[in-house]
Amino acid sequence: MKSIFQVFSLCILVSMHSSCASIVSKSVWPVSVDSNPTGATVTIFNRERQQVYKGTAPATMFLRSGAGFFKKESYLVRFELDGYPTREIPLECGVNGWYWGNILLGGIIGMLIVDPATGAMYKPNTAFVQENMARNPAGSLNANPSLKICSIGEIPKDMETQLVKIN
């Protein structure tokens, strides 16, 4: 009778801890974004290049860490602001440390089914994305500056003071 009780207690204990990351952690995570200067338009795309967020920095949004069974999500964070070049920063998800708790607690079901299916086995590698934006050359609004060669007679009078002699 004592051994039956021990086996029953062990089964209950194992089933309670069968998906460590799903119980202790989560599969949707807060991620904050900011730009310097503030006010940039932030657009976030998932691994399928579908837009999952669009707003103005600073902002906080909730992003899923899993993209399917045993598939981690990855994002592309795009910053856009007039007078500045567009910047894109990758945001990757990695294995959640709580996922390995399944090994210690005997949760084979959690390790092979529950945590991979819910996405709880992953988490974003960073919870904060900051972008220091640099102005385009000469304050141009054009992100792709070009070179135009012209004679001295074609240059506007107000720009003559900016000319530099190069011999």
**Closest by alpha carbon to 63, among 18, 10, 128, 108?**
128
CA 121 to CA 123: how far, in whole Å?
A: 7
pLDDT tens-digit map of 23-52: 556 678 899 999 988 899 999 999 999 999
Q: Which of 16, 13, 20, 15 is nearest to 95 (CA)?
A: 20
DSSP track, 17-50: TS-HHHHHS-SEEEEEEEEESS--EEEEE-TT--
The one-character DSSP state at 112 is I
| Strand partners for 54 | 43
What mean pLDDT is predicted for residues 59-80?
88
Q: How many CB atoms lie within 10 A of CB 2?
A: 6
Beta strands in 5-146 (DSSP E): 28-36, 41-45, 51-56, 59-64, 66-68, 71-72, 74-80, 87-95, 122-124, 128-132
Output the pLDDT for position 119. 72
pLDDT in tens, 86-140: 999 999 988 877 667 766 665 677 667 777 777 777 888 888 898 988 876 554 4
Distance CA 88, CA 72 (A): 20
Spatial distance between the Cα atoms of 76 and 46, rounded to a whole number of angstroms = 7
Question: pTM for this one?
Answer: 0.64
Q: Say whether pLDDT at 21 is over 60.
A: no
Can you tell me the mean pLDDT for 79-84?
A: 92
Residue 58 pLDDT: 93
pLDDT at 43: 96
Structure tokens at 133: 């934006």
Better-predicted residue by pLDDT, 157 or 22: 157
pLDDT at 7 over 60: no
